[in-house]
Structure 1
Amino acid sequence: MMGPGEFQAFMRVYFPTFLLGFFTCLMSVALSLVVWIDEHWLHHPDNATYTLLFSTALTIPLCLGHFAMVRGWRWAMWAVLPVPAVTLLIALSLFGSGLPALLLAIMLALPLLALLVFNSQRHREMRRRLVELRQQR
Protein backbone atom coordinates (compact mmCIF):
# COMPACT_ATOMS: atom_id res chain seq x y z
CA MET A 1 0.00 0.00 0.00
CA MET A 2 0.99 3.60 -0.47
CA GLY A 3 1.96 5.88 2.36
CA PRO A 4 0.57 9.42 2.62
CA GLY A 5 3.63 11.00 0.98
CA GLU A 6 3.69 8.45 -1.80
CA PHE A 7 -0.03 8.96 -2.46
CA GLN A 8 0.42 12.73 -2.69
CA ALA A 9 3.31 12.29 -5.13
CA PHE A 10 1.22 9.89 -7.21
CA MET A 11 -1.70 12.33 -7.32
CA ARG A 12 0.55 15.28 -8.15
CA VAL A 13 2.03 13.44 -11.14
CA TYR A 14 -0.97 11.59 -12.58
CA PHE A 15 -4.17 13.36 -11.47
CA PRO A 16 -3.96 16.22 -14.02
CA THR A 17 -3.47 13.68 -16.82
CA PHE A 18 -6.43 11.64 -15.61
CA LEU A 19 -8.65 14.74 -15.44
CA LEU A 20 -7.53 15.97 -18.86
CA GLY A 21 -8.50 12.66 -20.45
CA PHE A 22 -11.85 12.55 -18.68
CA PHE A 23 -12.90 16.13 -19.29
CA THR A 24 -11.80 16.25 -22.93
CA CYS A 25 -14.01 13.20 -23.53
CA LEU A 26 -16.86 14.75 -21.60
CA MET A 27 -16.64 18.07 -23.45
CA SER A 28 -16.38 16.21 -26.74
CA VAL A 29 -19.57 14.25 -25.99
CA ALA A 30 -21.46 17.36 -24.93
CA LEU A 31 -20.44 19.52 -27.86
CA SER A 32 -20.68 16.98 -30.65
CA LEU A 33 -24.02 15.51 -29.62
CA VAL A 34 -25.73 18.82 -29.03
CA VAL A 35 -24.53 20.20 -32.36
CA TRP A 36 -25.33 17.00 -34.26
CA ILE A 37 -28.84 16.65 -32.82
CA ASP A 38 -29.57 20.34 -33.34
CA GLU A 39 -28.29 20.08 -36.90
CA HIS A 40 -30.45 17.07 -37.79
CA TRP A 41 -33.47 17.33 -35.47
CA LEU A 42 -33.68 21.03 -34.65
CA HIS A 43 -37.45 21.34 -34.93
CA HIS A 44 -38.30 17.83 -33.75
CA PRO A 45 -40.52 17.87 -30.66
CA ASP A 46 -38.33 15.29 -28.90
CA ASN A 47 -35.04 17.13 -29.48
CA ALA A 48 -34.28 17.42 -25.76
CA THR A 49 -35.14 13.76 -25.17
CA TYR A 50 -32.77 12.61 -27.91
CA THR A 51 -30.01 14.82 -26.57
CA LEU A 52 -30.45 13.38 -23.08
CA LEU A 53 -30.63 9.76 -24.26
CA PHE A 54 -27.61 9.94 -26.56
CA SER A 55 -25.58 11.87 -24.00
CA THR A 56 -26.41 9.28 -21.36
CA ALA A 57 -25.53 6.45 -23.74
CA LEU A 58 -22.04 7.89 -24.25
CA THR A 59 -21.46 9.22 -20.74
CA ILE A 60 -22.23 6.00 -18.86
CA PRO A 61 -19.42 3.94 -20.47
CA LEU A 62 -17.10 6.92 -20.08
CA CYS A 63 -17.75 7.22 -16.34
CA LEU A 64 -17.79 3.46 -15.71
CA GLY A 65 -14.57 3.05 -17.67
CA HIS A 66 -12.81 5.77 -15.69
CA PHE A 67 -14.08 4.33 -12.42
CA ALA A 68 -12.79 0.89 -13.45
CA MET A 69 -9.50 2.49 -14.48
CA VAL A 70 -9.09 4.02 -11.03
CA ARG A 71 -9.84 0.63 -9.49
CA GLY A 72 -7.02 -0.89 -11.57
CA TRP A 73 -8.93 -3.00 -14.10
CA ARG A 74 -6.97 -3.62 -17.30
CA TRP A 75 -10.05 -3.64 -19.56
CA ALA A 76 -11.16 -0.16 -18.51
CA MET A 77 -9.56 1.62 -21.45
CA TRP A 78 -11.64 -0.45 -23.87
CA ALA A 79 -14.77 0.95 -22.23
CA VAL A 80 -13.47 4.52 -22.57
CA LEU A 81 -11.89 4.55 -26.04
CA PRO A 82 -15.11 4.11 -28.06
CA VAL A 83 -16.45 7.38 -26.64
CA PRO A 84 -13.92 9.75 -28.30
CA ALA A 85 -14.01 7.56 -31.41
CA VAL A 86 -17.79 7.96 -31.70
CA THR A 87 -17.62 11.70 -31.09
CA LEU A 88 -14.90 11.99 -33.73
CA LEU A 89 -17.14 10.20 -36.23
CA ILE A 90 -20.04 12.47 -35.28
CA ALA A 91 -17.86 15.52 -35.89
CA LEU A 92 -16.67 14.15 -39.22
CA SER A 93 -20.28 13.54 -40.29
CA LEU A 94 -21.01 17.26 -39.89
CA PHE A 95 -18.58 18.38 -42.61
CA GLY A 96 -20.44 20.17 -45.36
CA SER A 97 -23.41 21.01 -43.17
CA GLY A 98 -22.73 24.74 -43.15
CA LEU A 99 -21.46 24.94 -39.57
CA PRO A 100 -18.69 27.45 -38.83
CA ALA A 101 -15.22 26.09 -39.47
CA LEU A 102 -14.03 27.04 -35.96
CA LEU A 103 -16.82 24.99 -34.37
CA LEU A 104 -15.98 21.99 -36.55
CA ALA A 105 -12.29 22.38 -35.71
CA ILE A 106 -13.05 22.38 -31.98
CA MET A 107 -15.34 19.37 -32.39
CA LEU A 108 -12.52 17.51 -34.13
CA ALA A 109 -9.78 18.68 -31.78
CA LEU A 110 -11.45 17.56 -28.54
CA PRO A 111 -11.72 13.81 -29.30
CA LEU A 112 -8.30 13.83 -30.95
CA LEU A 113 -6.83 15.48 -27.85
CA ALA A 114 -8.56 12.87 -25.68
CA LEU A 115 -7.09 10.04 -27.76
CA LEU A 116 -3.68 11.70 -27.58
CA VAL A 117 -3.91 11.93 -23.79
CA PHE A 118 -4.93 8.27 -23.48
CA ASN A 119 -2.00 7.27 -25.67
CA SER A 120 0.51 9.41 -23.77
CA GLN A 121 3.34 7.88 -21.79
CA ARG A 122 2.13 9.44 -18.54
CA HIS A 123 -1.39 8.01 -18.91
CA ARG A 124 0.06 4.58 -19.66
CA GLU A 125 2.30 4.81 -16.59
CA MET A 126 -0.69 5.82 -14.47
CA ARG A 127 -2.76 2.85 -15.69
CA ARG A 128 0.17 0.50 -15.14
CA ARG A 129 0.66 1.82 -11.59
CA LEU A 130 -3.07 1.53 -10.84
CA VAL A 131 -3.02 -2.11 -11.99
CA GLU A 132 -0.01 -2.74 -9.74
CA LEU A 133 -1.85 -1.18 -6.80
CA ARG A 134 -4.85 -3.40 -7.47
CA GLN A 135 -2.63 -6.49 -7.48
CA GLN A 136 -1.06 -5.41 -4.17
CA ARG A 137 -4.50 -5.22 -2.55
Structure 2
Amino acid sequence: MKMTPAEFQAFMRRYFAMFLLGFFMCLISAALSSTLWIDSHWRHHPDNPSYTLLASAVSTLLLCTGHLAMVRGFTWAMWLVLPVPAVALLMTLSLFGSGLNALMLAIMLVLALLALLVFNSGRHREMRQRLIELRQLRR
Protein backbone atom coordinates (compact mmCIF):
# COMPACT_ATOMS: atom_id res chain seq x y z
CA MET A 1 0.00 0.00 0.00
CA LYS A 2 1.45 3.31 -1.06
CA MET A 3 1.27 6.58 0.77
CA THR A 4 -0.87 9.24 -0.79
CA PRO A 5 0.82 12.56 -1.55
CA ALA A 6 -0.98 14.16 1.39
CA GLU A 7 0.22 11.40 3.74
CA PHE A 8 3.75 11.77 2.43
CA GLN A 9 3.66 15.54 2.97
CA ALA A 10 2.36 15.07 6.52
CA PHE A 11 5.05 12.47 7.24
CA MET A 12 7.82 14.68 5.91
CA ARG A 13 6.50 17.75 7.72
CA ARG A 14 6.42 15.87 11.02
CA TYR A 15 9.65 13.86 10.89
CA PHE A 16 12.10 15.24 8.31
CA ALA A 17 13.54 17.96 10.54
CA MET A 18 14.16 15.45 13.33
CA PHE A 19 15.82 13.05 10.88
CA LEU A 20 18.17 15.76 9.60
CA LEU A 21 18.88 17.02 13.12
CA GLY A 22 19.94 13.53 14.21
CA PHE A 23 22.17 13.07 11.18
CA PHE A 24 23.93 16.42 11.37
CA MET A 25 24.36 16.38 15.15
CA CYS A 26 26.12 13.02 14.83
CA LEU A 27 28.18 14.21 11.89
CA ILE A 28 29.36 17.45 13.50
CA SER A 29 30.13 15.86 16.87
CA ALA A 30 32.07 13.03 15.22
CA ALA A 31 34.01 15.41 12.99
CA LEU A 32 35.00 17.75 15.82
CA SER A 33 35.87 15.10 18.36
CA SER A 34 37.83 12.83 16.03
CA THR A 35 39.79 15.70 14.51
CA LEU A 36 40.73 17.23 17.84
CA TRP A 37 41.41 13.85 19.46
CA ILE A 38 43.76 12.75 16.69
CA ASP A 39 45.47 16.14 16.59
CA SER A 40 46.00 16.18 20.34
CA HIS A 41 47.25 12.60 20.68
CA TRP A 42 49.21 12.24 17.44
CA ARG A 43 50.20 15.85 16.86
CA HIS A 44 53.67 15.18 15.43
CA HIS A 45 52.95 11.81 13.85
CA PRO A 46 53.69 11.83 10.10
CA ASP A 47 50.43 10.00 9.30
CA ASN A 48 48.21 12.39 11.26
CA PRO A 49 46.24 13.54 8.16
CA SER A 50 45.71 9.93 7.09
CA TYR A 51 44.29 9.01 10.50
CA THR A 52 41.99 12.01 10.44
CA LEU A 53 40.77 11.09 6.96
CA LEU A 54 40.28 7.45 7.97
CA ALA A 55 38.29 8.39 11.09
CA SER A 56 36.14 10.77 9.05
CA ALA A 57 35.54 8.15 6.37
CA VAL A 58 34.56 5.45 8.87
CA SER A 59 32.17 7.71 10.77
CA THR A 60 30.64 8.99 7.51
CA LEU A 61 30.21 5.43 6.22
CA LEU A 62 28.52 4.33 9.45
CA LEU A 63 26.23 7.35 9.55
CA CYS A 64 25.20 7.20 5.90
CA THR A 65 24.67 3.44 5.89
CA GLY A 66 22.76 3.57 9.16
CA HIS A 67 20.50 6.41 8.09
CA LEU A 68 19.85 4.82 4.70
CA ALA A 69 18.92 1.56 6.44
CA MET A 70 16.74 3.53 8.86
CA VAL A 71 14.86 5.13 5.96
CA ARG A 72 14.39 1.69 4.43
CA GLY A 73 12.82 0.51 7.72
CA PHE A 74 15.47 -1.88 9.03
CA THR A 75 15.31 -2.34 12.79
CA TRP A 76 19.08 -2.84 13.14
CA ALA A 77 19.93 0.54 11.60
CA MET A 78 20.29 2.29 14.95
CA TRP A 79 23.14 -0.04 15.89
CA LEU A 80 25.16 1.48 13.05
CA VAL A 81 24.35 5.07 13.98
CA LEU A 82 24.52 5.11 17.78
CA PRO A 83 28.20 4.13 18.15
CA VAL A 84 29.22 7.32 16.34
CA PRO A 85 27.96 9.85 18.93
CA ALA A 86 28.87 7.45 21.76
CA VAL A 87 32.49 7.25 20.59
CA ALA A 88 32.50 11.01 20.00
CA LEU A 89 31.36 11.48 23.59
CA LEU A 90 34.10 9.18 24.90
CA MET A 91 36.73 10.92 22.79
CA THR A 92 35.58 14.29 24.09
CA LEU A 93 35.68 13.10 27.69
CA SER A 94 39.22 11.81 27.20
CA LEU A 95 40.32 15.28 26.05
CA PHE A 96 39.51 16.98 29.36
CA GLY A 97 42.71 18.12 31.02
CA SER A 98 44.69 18.07 27.78
CA GLY A 99 44.99 21.85 27.50
CA LEU A 100 42.36 22.37 24.83
CA ASN A 101 40.01 25.32 25.03
CA ALA A 102 37.31 24.61 27.62
CA LEU A 103 34.62 26.23 25.47
CA MET A 104 35.47 23.96 22.54
CA LEU A 105 35.37 20.91 24.80
CA ALA A 106 32.01 22.00 26.19
CA ILE A 107 30.62 22.46 22.67
CA MET A 108 31.84 19.02 21.62
CA LEU A 109 30.37 17.47 24.76
CA VAL A 110 27.01 19.18 24.26
CA LEU A 111 26.86 18.16 20.58
CA ALA A 112 27.49 14.49 21.35
CA LEU A 113 24.95 14.50 24.18
CA LEU A 114 22.36 16.28 22.03
CA ALA A 115 22.88 13.75 19.24
CA LEU A 116 22.14 10.94 21.69
CA LEU A 117 19.15 12.88 23.03
CA VAL A 118 17.70 13.35 19.54
CA PHE A 119 17.84 9.60 18.89
CA ASN A 120 16.16 8.93 22.22
CA SER A 121 13.39 11.48 21.65
CA GLY A 122 9.80 10.42 21.24
CA ARG A 123 9.45 11.91 17.77
CA HIS A 124 12.52 10.07 16.47
CA ARG A 125 11.19 6.82 17.93
CA GLU A 126 7.81 7.47 16.28
CA MET A 127 9.55 8.10 12.96
CA ARG A 128 11.54 4.87 13.18
CA GLN A 129 8.42 2.90 14.13
CA ARG A 130 6.49 4.40 11.21
CA LEU A 131 9.34 3.56 8.81
CA ILE A 132 9.32 -0.04 10.06
CA GLU A 133 5.55 -0.20 9.51
CA LEU A 134 5.98 1.14 5.97
CA ARG A 135 8.61 -1.52 5.30
CA GLN A 136 6.22 -4.23 6.45
CA LEU A 137 3.50 -2.84 4.19
CA ARG A 138 5.84 -2.99 1.18
CA ARG A 139 6.46 -6.72 1.67
Same fold, TM exceeding 0.5? yes
Match of 1:78 in 2: 79
Q: Deviations over 1:12-58 (max 9, x none)?
A: 11000000000000001110011111111222221110100111122
User: What amino acid does structure 1 have at the position aligned with 2:6?
Assistant: G
Where do 4+ consecutive residues of structure 1 move more than 2 Å? none
Match of 2:51 in 1: 50
Deviation at 1:109, TM superposition (A): 0.7
Match of 2:91 in 1: 90
User: What amino acid does structure 2 have at the position aligned with 1:77?
Assistant: M
Match of 1:103 in 2: 104
**Alignment gaps of 5+ in structure 1:** none
Q: Percent identity?
A: 72
Counting matched residue pairs gives 137
Deviation at 1:114, TM superposition (A): 0.5
Q: Deviations over 1:69-121 (max 9, x none)?
A: 00000111111111110000000000100111100001101110011000000
Match of 1:12 in 2: 13
CA RMSD of aligned residues (A): 0.8
Match of 1:112 in 2: 113
Tell me the distance in 2 between the aligned counterparts of 1:38 and 1:61: 22
**Alignment gaps of 5+ in structure 2:** none
Query: Under a length normalisation based on structure 2, what TM-score does the superposition of the two structures give?
Result: 0.96
Query: Under a length normalisation based on structure 1, what TM-score does the superposition of the two structures give?
Result: 0.97
Tell me the distance in 1 between the aligned counterparts of 2:50 and 2:40: 15
Other structure's SS at 1:66 match: helix
